[in-house]
Amino acid sequence: MLRQHHHTRKFLGFTFSDRVQVKRRIAPKALARFKDRIRELTQRTRGVSVAQLIGPLKRYLTGWRGCFGFCETPGVLRRLDEWIRRRIRCFFWKQWKRGRTRFQELIARGVSGNLAAQTAGSPHSAWRLSCSPALNIALSNRYFRSLGLPSLSS
């Protein structure tokens, strides 16, 4: 019985595999480095303004997209976009700190009183709440585009 061997080659942060059709995928190590850098840029919440957060993120994402934007696995880029936005929502939530501030920020950003109260009073972690309906309304993808946050997938 003949066994087929699949070869995987790495080049400049891409992985090429010769299964059926060659696809340019982002190498796992390059992805891990990317996520580490994004974590670094979105970690500090104290004394950091939105502009100070978005500026370095914008530069890093634009450069990274220049290198990896032409990978042939768009689903990966879409998931990274979602994860980055979730990190930023988390950043905002931590910045707003107190329940009253959180409630007022949600209301000011178009969240209904009921949902805002529910979310602001929630005992859940910032990470868990970062994908809640209230934060998706208050900090929408459109809002992030208006800040100039580049998308990896479009």
For residue 47, what are its two tokens? 């004394």
Q: Are 121 and 98 in contact (CB under 8 A)?
A: no
- Dump pLDDT digits (tens) for 36-55: 999 999 987 777 888 899 99
Range list of H helices, the chain: 28-43, 50-68, 74-96, 99-108, 113-120, 126-129, 133-138, 141-146
The model's pTM? 0.81
64-75, pLDDT tens digit by residue?
Answer: 888 777 777 778
Per-residue pLDDT of 59-104, as tens digits, reads 999 998 887 777 777 788 899 999 999 999 999 999 999 999 999 9
Determine the distance from the C-alpha atom of residue 138 to the mean position of all C-alpha atoms in its chain, rounded to a whole number. Answer: 16
> What mean pLDDT comes out for the span 18-33?
76
